Amino acid sequence: MAASPAVACIVPEPFDPSYVRQADAVFVASLSGYEVIRADPPQVPANYGLITVTVVDNIKGKSPLRLQLVWGNSTFGAPEQLSPDLRRMIVATVASEGGHTPGRAQSAFASRDLPEATVLQESCSAPFLLPYASSTQAAVEAVLAGRPVPDDADWFNAERRQELARREIDRGRLEQLARLDRENKALREEVAAKEAEMERRNFAMAIGAALLLVVGTAFFWWRRFAR
Query: What pLDDT digit, counting tens, does each position of 185-221 carry?
Result: 888 888 888 988 998 888 888 888 888 888 878 877 7
Tell me the C-alpha to C-alpha distance, in Å, between residue 116 and each of 3, 129, 218: 25, 17, 108
Give yes or no for residue 74 having a pLDDT over 70. no
Kindly report the three-state secondary structure assignment for every residue of 158-191: HHHHHHHHHHHHHHHHHHHHHHHHHHHHHHHHHH
Backbone angles phi, psi at 201, to 5 degrees: -65, -45
Phi–psi pair at 50, nearest 5 degrees: -115, 110
The whole-number pLDDT of residue 135 equals 82
Above 60 in pLDDT, residue 158?
no
- Average pLDDT estimate for 95-106: 45
- pLDDT, residue 152, reads 57
pTM of the prediction? 0.57
| Structural element, H or E, at residue 208 | helix 158-226
Taking phi over 0 as left and psi of -120 to 50 as alpha, with beta for the rest, 99 belongs to left
Position with higher pLDDT, 70 vs 153: 70
CA distance 118 to 55: 15
Higher pLDDT, 165 or 207: 207
